[in-house]
């Protein structure tokens, strides 16, 4: 029987400032940026955590601590490349990635295919192994009040 593992990841950032909104490696036109140490890509960050969790390697903060100035403004796809390499170094291959972006004020659908390509490219896997979806909270909570956005991801890896 093959060794199959699953990891789950989550990330959230507040809106604020004048930086861009980056989702799954795609810059999205939005009147307000996100507050983050890196580029604030919640989708890429959630995938990183899911991958690292699947191989019991730790989490995003372990590998790329926000207290370390070298990660200021970092491209989250580079963090994802590194996380995917950690999976490979542990002897696993990425089977599939499923990401849900939770946001009230950003339309994801027009960018979905590009997001899938960017994530797949960073991980070195076929695009048909990456799913990107979006949902809103129908006005509920801080995300519904457009105070920020979040993403959750599931990663399946196998030997």
pTM: predicted TM-score of the whole model, two decimal places: 0.96
Fold of the domain built from segment(s) 4-158: 60s Ribosomal Protein L30; Chain: A; (3.30.1330)
Q: 61-119: per-residue pLDDT in tens?
A: 999 988 888 888 899 999 999 999 999 999 999 999 999 999 998 999 999 999 999 99
Residue spans of the domains in the chain: they are: 4-158
What is the CB-side half-sphere exposure of residue 103 using CA atoms within 13 A? 28
- pLDDT, tens only, 3-40: 999 999 999 999 997 878 999 999 998 999 999 999 99
pLDDT band at 1 (very low <50, low <70, confident <90, very high): low
Cα atoms in the Cβ-side hemisphere of radius 13 Å centred on 97: 39
What does the pLDDT average to over 40-53? 98
Quote the tokens at residue 46. Answer: 């959630």
**Residue 21 neighbours by CB distance under 10 Å:** 23
Among 145, 39, 135, 125, smallest CA distance to 85 is for 125
Residue 39's nearest CA partner among 109, 122, 136, 100 is 122
């Amino acid at each position: 029987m093959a060794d199959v593992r699953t990891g789950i990841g989550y990330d959230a950032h507040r809106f604020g400032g004048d930086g861009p909104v980056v989702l799954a490696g795609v810059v999205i036109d939005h009147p307000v940026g996100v507050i983050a140490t890196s580029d604030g890509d919640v989708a890429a960050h959630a995938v990183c955590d899911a991958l690292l969790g699947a191989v019991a390697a730790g989490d995003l903060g372990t590998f790329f601590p926000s207290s370390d100035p070298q990660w200021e403004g970092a491209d989250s796809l580079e963090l994802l490349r590194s996380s995917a390499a950690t999976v490979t170094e542990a002897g696993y291959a990425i089977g599939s990635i499923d990401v849900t972006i939770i946001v009230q004020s950003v339309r994801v659908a027009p960018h979905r295919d590009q997001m899938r390509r960017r994530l797949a490219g960073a991980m070195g896997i076929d695009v048909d192994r990456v799913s990107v979806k979006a949902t809103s909270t129908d006005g509920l909570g801080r995300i519904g009040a457009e105070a920020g956005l979040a993403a959750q991801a599931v990663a399946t890896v196998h030997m």
